[in-house]
Structure 1
Amino acid sequence: MAACSEPGPSPSQPEAGSSHAPAVQPSPTPTPTVDEADPSSWVIGFDGVGPVKVGGDITAEAAELTSFTDKSDLAACPVRFLDGPEGPDLALAPDSGGLVARILVMGALWGPHAAAAAAQNSPKIDAGIGADASLAQLMAASRASRRKRRPPTRTSTRYPTAPAGGSRSPT
């Protein structure tokens, strides 16, 4: 009976004279706290931005952002424009079924927010890069990122990135 046998070395302790070190168990990665009212606590990922998820019902996703002001004119355009209290602002673009297809994080597009405040309060990718980062910081944080310049607007240049082996841009 194994339960009554002499105790041997535990699985985490090497036998005397053994050159094997005990296996190190990785500590679990803490789940970041997402505060709906604080976009700087949000993480930009391939599944969404902070509490807003790609593929979620656009009406429900917009309604969850209670600290944002909905500036949408749904009679003219199906995109939900949400004004953040301290910047940044969001635009949620639906697919034909009313699900979130794209999430745009914007600086001071309208309202009283200064562009610097909107950038400082922006969500960040998992490497800590947000709207206030330089292109050099972005490229240093993600060497796998390929720079693809989309047609510039008067005030912005977009640099989409893709996951390893894919072509989908983070939202």
Structure 2
Amino acid sequence: MKRSEACSKSKLERKTIEKNRRVRMKALGFKLASIIPDGHLRKSKEFLSHLDQIDEAAAYIKIVRDRIEALKGRKAQLINSGNVTKAAIGSETLPILTVKELGFCVEVMLISGLNKNFMLGQVISIIEQEAAEVLAVNISRVGDNIVHTLHAQIKISRVGVDTLNISNRIHEMISTSSLNFS
């Protein structure tokens, strides 16, 4: 009789462990699916099975990985060719600002000197006030320059984002900051 009790306890423990594993996997699947932007989904998240949500997440991760590799290649190419340093030393004065709309994303690249006269938090605030959510910030040093690259996602895709307004507001903020630091 002791053996049958031990066997039934063992089965119950295995069932409990398996149930906990399934619950945890389900929670992790929901967490993974919540990270994927709606613009990258074929269907609404509510209508996707767990397997489809994982497939969508894997596809999105691959897109992001490819984008990162392309940007790393572009960065290396700019550094190797010296274009970043030449642009900063050339006829343009620091800081140099470019704002690009890339589908549902916005890329803001700001090249400044080592003694930058602005606060990155203010730049992020401007981007977020213009209906975009900052997802990633990358700061690199290239020679005597600092390259700030901010990637943001447009909050409302049908409205879009006004890149010219972002650019103008950041330029205004930088010129105001330069006056205060001088």
Q: TM-score, normalised by structure 1?
A: 0.23
Higher helix share: 2
TM-score by length of 2: 0.22
Largest Rg, 1 or 2: 2
